[in-house]
Structure 1
Amino acid sequence: MPRTPTPAVSPHLVDPTQAVLFDARRNWRCFAVGSSRTVPTLTPAAEALLEEFERHARKHGWNASPRNSAAMTLRILLGWLGAEAPIHEADIRAVADHRRNAGIRRVLQFLDGHGMVIPDPARRGEAPERAVEQRIAALPDAIAEEMRCWVRVLRGEGRRPHPQFPFATIRSYLNCLRPELAAWTEHVTSLREITRDDIEASLDRQPPVTARNLLSALHSLFRALKQERVIFRDPTRGMSLPTMRRLPAPIPTDRLHGLIDRAEGPMAKLVVALIAIHGLHIQETTHVLLEDLDLPTGRLLVRRDTHHHTVYLDELTHALAGNWLHERRRLWSRTSNPHLLVSQVTSADTTLPPVSHHVTDTIFVRLGLTASQLRRDRILDEAAHTADPVHLMRVFGISAKTSMTYVQAAHPERRSTGPR
């Protein structure tokens, strides 16, 4: 049987001394698929870089499947472009567009650590900033430009000096506004056309807490546009809603039955237990460090902004924590990620992040609940049994005001209804 000829070196190797006449985006559709036999022969420098990547992957304990996928992506890039010059981030991501499970994050971080990535200007900025721009870009042009004007004001770039809001806060405002903006764009072409009646109709459709958040975002939007003289009058001027606190309501018992048993996998079971039994917030659960768990004493330290809260593990949570540690060591014994909860992605991420919202959201989507619902139900159940706000403060580390809210919800007959 004749031997398959060895592929030649790529004719498209990047020469670092070659000047650039103009930038053109490469089309990787035909080159990002197929087996390693279709990739050009690697240069010695590319071969050495690929071997270093393999050592890096094994050192960090990557599983075989993601390791091999990422190595193949890197081999394609080095085979066609070589290792003599940095590679455009757009090219790296373009290869991943045509390959499933391409390990793009791993390849990017490895090459970036070697100074081998030319950043994509279109992707500059943090994730909240990109999210804001992407959501605004989906709006009609005229309204999108008005929204960008609002963003500039919040970033301190308006006609008058203002404190600079972080993009994470702007994204939260925008999340409140998106449903209303989508509804308005069906019958207006500019926010100048929005009237007070439109604002009141939007607020009337919301439950009390959501309405208050929406009104705050609307105040911010229309005050900024009025300041920049984009609109003539602010339709939210003088509008307010009565101060009210929504009392938590219990989740039906049939929805809670067997939650931990239904959770899929050791990590999911531990996450559900920490929220359903110990009333932790989902965000603080993902930020717990491995060193914060002390199994011999049965304690878990939760680091909060103003104080630390100690969780005393019950027998079930203690067992689930032990099961998860065993699974964590089995899958990712070499990861340097300091967080108690890690995933296939974060175990290999050199920036050492906590697990993503997508990972935790998926756990509760499969259970038909949200983490916040489950946490509220746990505290409400405890309040029903004790009616002691101090006890709630000690067990869950919550404030006096919050604990009183739960006691009032669990025992409405004790709430004062007389004049104050």
Structure 2
Amino acid sequence: MRAKARRRGLSGPASCESCLAWGRVQRPFVRGLCQACYLFARDHTVGRCRGCRRLQPVRKEYCRLCWGQARADARATGGLHGAATAVHFLDGVGRHQQLFFADMLSMRGARTTPPRRYDRRGAPRKPPPPPAARPYSRWIQPVLFDGARRDYHRFDPGRADTTTSGWLAWARHLAHGLAEARGWPRAVRQDVDRALVMLLSEYAEGDMIRHSEIFSPLRALNLSIERTTEVLQAMEIFLNDRRPPFEDWLEAKLDGIAPGIRRETEKWARTLHDGGPRTLARDPDTVRIYLTAIRPALLEWSAGHDHVREVTRDEVLAHVKTLQGRDRHQALVALRSLFAWAKKNGVIFRNPTSRIKVGQAAAPVLQPLLPHQVARSAEVVTSPAGRLAVALAAVHAVRPGAIRALQLDDADLGNRRITVAGRTHPLDDLTQQLLLAWLEHRRRRWPSTANPHLIINMNTALETDPVSSWWIERELRGQRATLDRLRIDRQLEEALVHGPDPLHLAEVFGMDEKTAIRYADSARALLEQSVESESPEFPRTRGSIPRNPGNGPSGSR
């Protein structure tokens, strides 16, 4: 180090004679100056400094030591510390001087450096909005006409006053908090701010902003409706007046049914969907299955009856005899639910479905997928998320709902394991490669998202909800080998390869005992059929997706 310092013309540690900084200074023939003071003296003349009253090289009547003190004072105030700002602090220097090490005044990595005022593109960075709370007003103007609607198409941004609106300031503060928590990109933040200026510049307390009023103007300007409504909902001034999709579906299913039967059926369906006194709401899919199963019977009875109380037991049995298998089971369960509700609410005097046994629906024999069907599904899926979902369903037998619910913490890449629905599965080579490819794509596409779920898309990257069931299976629409069929085929192949043992299936896949028995029965029937036909095709070899890998679910026992 000393030899290198000598080659650069530096001596040992000493104090600079100009700025009094401690460090390596120049050789004695330049009066023992540090490198910065040497360059400063070369470009400026000697004079008496107005700050420290010393004879030193000065610039605008101040030496380099006083200029450094002015920059330090400017930096302490939180502003910029360049020469243009430091000139305002020159009058206060001279009474004290902060000593420093040589050649460290211009370092940008110090902790006192102010935050960046420009983004990566060079545009000025907008400061965060100041903290704000819900505005308080002494009185509220009641609404005169409830049916009146605002026309935001006529909004003029040039005439809007955005400085005096307390509601807009509060909305911007809430939007900034949501953006930081959800990882909204800059474009989304700007769109939300423009939408809030349009909606809240002339807002008065007590008004409710309806979805029907803002949908058209925001869509015309290509602004984010979902993110804007999140801010308005946090402010509790948003009213979602959209017609639920269930209403349109229910109206279509009840079309053509007699008025008396339709009225009571609609009440029963709404009770199942929304719940009622001493009645819990059922799953929306259950309501759809029930009403779809009994619609043919209701249409048949509407030709000769005007009310559900006119339906007899013989007519119920006659309709049920025309159905078989699962259709008969679903229709009878739905009819029993309808007439039990009618009897409970006093709509009918006697339940025509009483003492009609539903019985156990005969489970069909599960059939394996053909090799070309699996290969076709593997070919049509091109996105990284779709390939990962196919691998999880085909190799680890994961349900589509469990794939959607997977979170980032469930994937343990270091130990090559993934946790699905509370069960830990070892990662095979294929699934690990697809998982790494998806994580890299997710990192590049949405680097600042705060969604904890493993699989996200363009919409869920701005929130914390999982992707929809339609989106996760969109690439397999029209294919025989869907995610659910791939899961069933994987479990069925496990039973064919290792024998129809329900205990083995329950241990490997964590399924219910009844489900394990069903898969074992299907595998036993397929094996018997294979023996009778003397076909050596079982077990089969799949296409591009490896079945039963060495470190897959079957190897985790």
> Is TM more than 0.5 here?
yes
1:262 to 371, 380, 392: 380
Secondary structure at the aligned position of 1:393 is classed as helix
What is the distance in 2 between the residues matched to 1:264 and 1:219?
Answer: 46
2:471 to 332, 349, 359: 359
The 5 A counterparts of 1:55-70 are 55-56=176-177, 59=180, 60-63=182-185, 69-70=191-192
Q: In the alignment, residue 141 of structure 2 is paired with which amino acid?
A: Q
Does residue 465 of structure 2 align to residue 347 of structure 1? no
Does residue 286 of structure 2 align to residue 172 of structure 1? yes
What is the distance in 2 between the residues matched to 1:337 and 1:316?
Answer: 25
Could you state the TM-score of these two structures normalised by the residue count of structure 2?
Answer: 0.58
In angstroms, what is the RMSD of aligned CA positions?
Answer: 3.6
Per-residue CA shift, 1:313-358, capped at 9, x if unaligned? 2111111111121222223333332221222222223xx3222223
The answer to whether the Cα contact below 8 Å between 1:32 and 1:76 also exists between their aligned partners in 2 is: no
Secondary structure at the aligned position of 2:458 is classed as coil
Q: Give the gaps of 5 or more residues in structure 2.
A: 1-136, 529-557
Deviation at residue 222 of structure 1 after TM alignment: 0.9
Does residue 333 of structure 2 align to residue 216 of structure 1? yes
Alpha carbons of 1:32 and 1:239: their partners in 2 closer, same or farther (altered >3 Å)?
A: farther
Deviation at residue 23 of structure 1 after TM alignment: 0.5
What is the distance in 1 between the residues matched to 2:215 and 2:333?
Answer: 41
Which residue pairs with 1:4 in the alignment? none
Deviation at residue 402 of structure 1 after TM alignment: 2.1
What is the distance in 1 between the residues matched to 2:415 and 2:214?
Answer: 49
Secondary structure at the aligned position of 2:460 is classed as coil
Q: In the alignment, residue 26 of structure 1 is paired with which amino acid?
A: R
Which residue pairs with 1:127 in the alignment? none
Deviation at residue 180 of structure 1 after TM alignment: 3.2
Alpha carbons of 1:286 and 1:210: their partners in 2 closer, same or farther (altered >3 Å)?
A: farther
Does residue 202 of structure 2 align to residue 88 of structure 1? no
Secondary structure at the aligned position of 1:410 is classed as helix
Which residue pairs with 1:271 in the alignment? 389
Alpha carbons of 1:294 and 1:207: their partners in 2 closer, same or farther (altered >3 Å)?
A: farther
| Bigger Cα displacement from structure 2, 327-336 vs 68-77 | 68-77
What is the distance in 2 between the residues matched to 1:164 and 1:196?
Answer: 26
Instruction: Tell which structure's C-alpha radius of gyration is larger.
Output: 2
Which residue pairs with 1:225 in the alignment? 342
Q: Give the gaps of 5 or more residues in structure 1.
A: 1-14, 125-129, 158-162, 416-420
Does residue 187 of structure 2 align to residue 74 of structure 1? no
The answer to whether the Cα contact below 8 Å between 1:293 and 1:301 also exists between their aligned partners in 2 is: yes
Which residue pairs with 2:143 in the alignment? 20
Deviation at residue 255 of structure 1 after TM alignment: 1.8
Deviation at residue 233 of structure 1 after TM alignment: 3.6
Does residue 447 of structure 2 align to residue 333 of structure 1? yes
The 5 A counterparts of 1:41-52 are 41-44=160-163, 45=165, 48=169, 52=173
Which residue pairs with 2:226 in the alignment? 105
Aligned residues: 376
The 5 A counterparts of 1:183-332 are 184-185=298-299, 188=302, 189-196=306-313, 199-200=316-317, 203=320, 208-243=325-360, 244-303=362-421, 308-332=422-446
Deviation at residue 196 of structure 1 after TM alignment: 4.8
Deviation at residue 399 of structure 1 after TM alignment: 2.9
| Bigger Cα displacement from structure 2, 237-246 vs 137-146 | 137-146
Deviation at residue 301 of structure 1 after TM alignment: 0.9
Q: In the alignment, residue 355 of structure 2 is paired with which amino acid?
A: G
Q: In the alignment, residue 382 of structure 1 is paired with which amino acid?
A: E
Q: In the alignment, residue 43 of structure 1 is paired with which amino acid?
A: T
Deviation at residue 27 of structure 1 after TM alignment: 5.7
Secondary structure at the aligned position of 1:320 is classed as helix
Per-residue CA shift, 1:151-195, capped at 9, x if unaligned? 5776453xxxxx532242x65134322353377347615434545
Higher relative contact order (CA 8 A, sep 6+): 1
Per-residue CA shift, 1:216-275, capped at 9, x if unaligned? 222111111123232344332222344222332223332211423421411111112111
Which residue pairs with 2:109 in the alignment? none
Secondary structure at the aligned position of 1:215 is classed as helix
What is the distance in 1 between the residues matched to 2:300 and 2:359?
Answer: 30
Alpha carbons of 1:414 and 1:374: their partners in 2 closer, same or farther (altered >3 Å)?
A: closer
What is the distance in 1 between the residues matched to 2:226 and 2:322?
Answer: 41
Deviation at residue 74 of structure 1 after TM alignment: 3.3
Q: In the alignment, residue 61 of structure 1 is paired with which amino acid?
A: G
Q: Kindly, what percent of the aligned residue pairs are identical?
A: 28
Alpha carbons of 1:74 and 1:165: their partners in 2 closer, same or farther (altered >3 Å)?
A: same
Deviation at residue 65 of structure 1 after TM alignment: 6.0
What is the distance in 2 between the residues matched to 1:277 and 1:324?
Answer: 17
The answer to whether the Cα contact below 8 Å between 1:73 and 1:96 also exists between their aligned partners in 2 is: no
Q: In the alignment, residue 117 of structure 1 is paired with which amino acid?
A: I
The answer to whether the Cα contact below 8 Å between 2:294 and 2:331 also exists between their aligned partners in 1 is: no
Q: In the alignment, residue 227 of structure 1 is paired with which amino acid?
A: K
Which residue pairs with 2:507 in the alignment? 394
Q: In the alignment, residue 111 of structure 1 is paired with which amino acid?
A: L
1:372 to 484, 489, 501: 484
The 5 A counterparts of 1:1-40 are 17-26=140-149, 28=151, 31-32=152-153, 40=159
Alpha carbons of 1:264 and 1:187: their partners in 2 closer, same or farther (altered >3 Å)?
A: farther
The answer to whether the Cα contact below 8 Å between 1:259 and 1:367 also exists between their aligned partners in 2 is: yes
The answer to whether the Cα contact below 8 Å between 2:309 and 2:348 also exists between their aligned partners in 1 is: yes
Q: In the alignment, residue 222 of structure 1 is paired with which amino acid?
A: F
The answer to whether the Cα contact below 8 Å between 1:146 and 1:191 also exists between their aligned partners in 2 is: yes
Per-residue CA shift, 1:20-63, capped at 9, x if unaligned? 123024164xx449xx8667524323664675477457533335
Deviation at residue 298 of structure 1 after TM alignment: 1.5
What is the distance in 2 between the residues matched to 1:294 and 1:32?
Answer: 51
1:404 to 517, 521, 525: 517
Secondary structure at the aligned position of 1:300 is classed as strand
Deviation at residue 123 of structure 1 after TM alignment: 6.8
Per-residue CA shift, 1:383-414, capped at 9, x if unaligned? 22221523322332223332232222123177
What is the distance in 2 between the residues matched to 1:22 and 1:360?
Answer: 45
Which residue pairs with 2:494 in the alignment? 382
The answer to whether the Cα contact below 8 Å between 1:87 and 1:116 also exists between their aligned partners in 2 is: no
Q: In the alignment, residue 232 of structure 2 is paired with which amino acid?
A: L
Could you state the TM-score of these two structures normalised by the residue count of structure 1?
Answer: 0.75
What is the distance in 2 between the residues matched to 1:66 and 1:200?
Answer: 59
The answer to whether the Cα contact below 8 Å between 1:63 and 1:331 also exists between their aligned partners in 2 is: no
